[in-house]
């Protein structure tokens, strides 16, 4: 079983859009203005996207728990 880098990228992108929306809404709910919430939400999600992609690619190389 092999997972392509393209699949990992698409999976990461879809997940990060979801997290971007929810983190933005959270920042607004805790008192940030709509405009002040945009910068931190985008910055965090760029960094976390790189981290998640790397984490997922590492797990693709771990054979533990994979059954045929």
Does the structure show a pLDDT above 80 at 3?
no
Residue-wise pLDDT for 21-47, tens only, equals: 888 888 888 887 888 888 888 888 888
State the pLDDT at residue 1.
67
Q: How far apart are CA 65 and CA 62, in angstroms?
A: 8
State the pLDDT at residue 64.
75
Q: How far apart are CA 53 and CA 59, in angstroms?
A: 10
Percent of the chain with pLDDT strictly greater than 90? 4
Q: How far apart are CA 68 and CA 55, in angstroms?
A: 23
Tell me, yes or no, if the pTM score tops 0.95: no
């Amino acid at each position: 079983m092999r997972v392509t880098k393209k699949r990992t990228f698409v999976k990461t992108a879809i997940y990060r859009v979801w997290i971007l929306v929810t983190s933005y809404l959270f920042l607004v709910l805790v008192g940030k203005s709509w405009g002040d919430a945009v910068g931190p939400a985008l910055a965090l999600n760029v960094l976390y996207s790189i981290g998640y992609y790397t984490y997922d690619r590492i797990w693709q190389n771990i054979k533990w728990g994979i059954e045929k």
